[in-house]
Amino acid sequence: MHVLILGATSAIAAEAAVIYAERGDRLHLVGRDPQKLAAVAARCARAVVTTEQADLADLAHNETLVRSASEALGQIDIALIAHGDLGDQLASEQAFTSAEATLHVNFTSAVSLLIPLANLCEAARSGRIGVITSVAGDRGRPRNYTYGAAKAALNVYLQGLRTRLYPAGVSVTTIKLGPVDSPMTRDHKKHALFGKPPAVAQSIVRAIDAGAPEAYVPAFWALIMPVVRSVPEALFQRLGFLSGR
């Protein structure tokens, strides 16, 4: 298989890259930090690996980026969009520029990649696209509602894209990720619900391979989030463990 990973230097994406490499897939890894990108590529040395340094928030270059990745691989069988940023919720409440930055990275930049990816896969009538979103997109909470809104928008976009691409035999997997013990959450107090990157990556790879429409990762979030979504707002606002900062 020919695998494109966008945002390959995140802890989760790096573990996914190693899984793909160990099973003999060919990889094209894209990331912003060249040193981290080289380190991930080194971990995948048993596979054929190409890399490209790019800032995925730079929308003007993303269509060209996807096409150059397709040329490097020969074809794209699997694409994983794994980049994102939690942003600063408090700052996003005070200044639109901060809110816009969070929305830009977590929604707009993903769409700028999905458009050329979807068009390539649709024309080839094959391929699997996986996109990491978040359980934060299932319900707005004061602690992260700007980030959650971006992921909720991405979830809806992926629903439409999935149905559009279904006749072409292309699967689109929405990966609703719970909190993970990684550098992205280094300032967060950890608890039992935090996933670990290696196990999370395994679940992501399995979901994409299976062509699952949606996958909660870790899987126990599939039991938790329907309950969180169903709590009436008047009650939700009184439950500090749900509605608190």
Residue 190 scores a pLDDT above 60 = no
Q: Any idea what the Cα angle at residue 75 is, between residues 79 and 197, rounded to 5°?
A: 25
Instruction: Give the pLDDT score at 187.
Output: 64
Instruction: Give the pLDDT score at 215.
Output: 98
Which amino acid is it at 150? A
Cβ atoms of residues 31 and 50 within 8 Å: no
Mean pLDDT throughout 164-170? 98
Mean pLDDT throughout 85-112? 96
Whole-angstrom CA distances from 22 to 110, 179, 245 are 27, 26, 41
Of the two residues 123 and 192, the one the predictor is more confident about is 123
Mean pLDDT throughout 133-148? 95
Calculate what percentage of the chain has a pLDDT beyond 90: 87
pLDDT band at 194 (very low <50, low <70, confident <90, very high): confident
Q: Quote the CATH superfamily of domain 2-243.
A: NAD(P)-binding Rossmann-like Domain (3.40.50.720)
Q: What is the domain partition of the chain in residue ranges? A: 2-243
Residue 12 scores a pLDDT above 90 = yes
Of the two residues 243 and 68, the one the predictor is more confident about is 68
Instruction: Give the pLDDT score at 166.
Output: 98
Q: How far from each other are the two terminal CA atoms of the chain, in whole angstroms?
A: 43
Residue-averaged pLDDT of the chain: 93
Name the residue with tokens 């707005």: 140
Residues 117 and 100: their CA atoms lie apart, in Å, by: 24
